Structure 1
Amino acid sequence: MKAWIDYVLQFGNLDKPSLELVISSANEVSLHKDEYFSAAGRVPRQVGFIVEGVIRGYYYDNKGEEITRCFISENSLVVDYVNFEANTSSSEYLQACTDCKLIAFSRQNWEELSQTVVGWDNIKNKMVQICMYQKSRKGPVISQNATTRYMEFMENYPSLINRIPLAYIASYLGVTQQSLSRIRRGIR
C-alpha cells in the first residue's frame, strides 16, 4: 500500500483522514499470469495500480491477429479509462503477462472518493493523464526496420526484456517470433 500512497502523493497533498479513506476504499488483488484485469466486450469495472508485475494491453485486428499495443508495469495505473468513465464495453484486453499484485478500486469506490476527498479530483486527473499517455504511447514505427524497432523497445522497456514472453514482444513490434529470435541473435 505504501507504493500506492507514495504514487498518489506525487500529484497533490492529502491530510491523514483523506489518506485513510483512500486506503480503506482499495482492495489488494492478485492476478496470475494470463488472467485478465479487464476484457474486450465487457465494461471495465475497476481501476488498478500495479504494485508488482506487468500487464499488457492488446486487441485483435480485422484479420483476427492479436496485436499488443502497450505494456504497463509497476507504479502505474491500469484501466481502460475511456470506457470505464463512459460505462461502455471495451475493445481491448488488459492481461497479466506475469503474476501481478495490484491495488484496485471498484467503480463505486473510485467515484465516491471524488465526492468525499477534497482535492481527489485534481490528483485523479493527473494520474489518469499519465495512464492515458502510457497506454497511447505509439508502438514502434512500422516503417523502421525490425532491428531498430527492437533496439527502441529495449531502450524504452529495459526491465521487461526478460520478464515477458517473446511472443508478446514480437506482437508489439509487428514481427514474427522467429524474426525476433533472429534479431536477438544478431544483436548479441
Structure 2
Amino acid sequence: MHDAFFKYLKKFDSEPLTKDEKSIIIKAFSPTKLRKRQYFSHAGNHCKHFAFIVKGAMRQYLVNNKGTELIIKVGIENWWMGDRESFVFGTPSLYHIDAWEDTEMLIIAREDFLKLKKINAIAMMIAHLDERNSIANQKRIASFISLTAEQRYVDFVTWYPQLVSRFPQHIIASYLGITKDTLSRVKVHLKK
C-alpha cells in the first residue's frame, strides 16, 4: 500500500524520496482496511488518525436532530479522509466517517504526521492540499448561497466526474444540500 502513496507524492516534488525518507514514511503510516459501512471514526470521539485512501470510497457526515445524515465530504483513491479540526485540536468530532465501499488506506496519527513535515515532498503536499482545500471550501460555500440546485449539480459533475459513479444519488444530493427527489428532477431536466 505504501507504493501507492509514494507514487502520489511524486506529484508534489520532482526530487525522488530517499531510502531514509521512505523508511520514515513507512513507519509513520499503518495499512488498514475497512469493510463497507465500517466506521473509521464516530461523532463525539477524538479523530486520532487521518487516512490516505489507497482503494475504496469513504464519506464524512453528521446526523441532524431529525436523524437525517448530512454529507460533509466524500473521498476515493488518492484522497484524504478525517476530521481535520478534531485531528489538529484533539477535540470531539462532530462527524461520523465510514467506508462506503470496502476500503484500503494508510492511516497516520497526529504526532507522526508532524514529524513528516521535514520531508520536502510531504511539506509540498501539505501546502498544495491546504490551497486546494481552501479553494474547494470557498466554491462550496459560494454555490450553497448563490446557485440553484441544477447549477450545483452541474458544477459537481464538472469538478468531480469520478464521484458520480461511485456514490448513489442520495449521497450526492445530501452533499449538494438538496433532496434526492430534487436531484432526480434536476437530472431529468438536464436530459431534455
TM-score range, shorter chain: 0.7 to 0.9
Give the aligned residue type for 1:170: A
Name 1:58's counterpart in structure 2. 61
Of the candidates 137, 140, 143, which is equivalent to residue 138 of structure 1? 140
Does residue 103 of the first structure (1) align with residue 124 of the second (2)?
no
Contact 1:70 1:135 in 2 (8 A): no
Give the aligned residue type for 1:49: F
- Give the whole-Å Cα distance in 2 for the aligned partners of 1:173 and 1:164: 13
Contact 2:52 2:79 in 1 (8 A): yes
- Give the whole-Å Cα distance in 2 for the aligned partners of 1:167 and 1:29: 27
Contact 1:32 1:100 in 2 (8 A): yes
- Give the whole-Å Cα distance in 2 for the aligned partners of 1:96 and 1:42: 17
CA deviation string 1:49-88 (max 9, x = no partner): 1112222222234554322122222212222222112111
Does residue 74 of the first structure (1) align with residue 99 of the second (2)?
no
Give the aligned residue type for 2:70: I
Contact 2:9 2:121 in 1 (8 A): no
Does residue 44 of the first structure (1) align with residue 47 of the second (2)?
yes
- Give the whole-Å Cα distance in 1 for the aligned partners of 2:91 and 2:78: 26
Shift in CA distance, 79/124, structure 1 to aligned 2, threshold 3 Å: farther
Give the aligned residue type for 2:140: K
Please report the TM-score for the alignment, with normalisation by the length of structure 1. 0.81
Shift in CA distance, 134/93, structure 1 to aligned 2, threshold 3 Å: farther
Name 2:184's counterpart in structure 1. 181
- Give the whole-Å Cα distance in 2 for the aligned partners of 1:69 and 1:176: 15
Shift in CA distance, 105/135, structure 1 to aligned 2, threshold 3 Å: farther
Q: Which has the higher helix share?
A: 2
| % same residue | 29
Contact 1:36 1:94 in 2 (8 A): yes
Give structure 2 stretches of 5+ with no counterpart.
none
Name 1:15's counterpart in structure 2. 18
* Count of aligned residue pairs for this structure pair: 186
Computed over aligned residues only, the root mean square deviation of the Cα atoms, in angstroms, reads 2.7
Contact 1:81 1:128 in 2 (8 A): no
> How far 1:120 sits from its partner (Å)?
7.4
> How far 1:10 sits from its partner (Å)?
3.5
Give the aligned residue type for 2:59: R
Give the aligned residue type for 1:129: D
Please report the TM-score for the alignment, with normalisation by the length of structure 2. 0.80
Of the candidates 166, 170, 173, which is equivalent to residue 173 of structure 2? 170
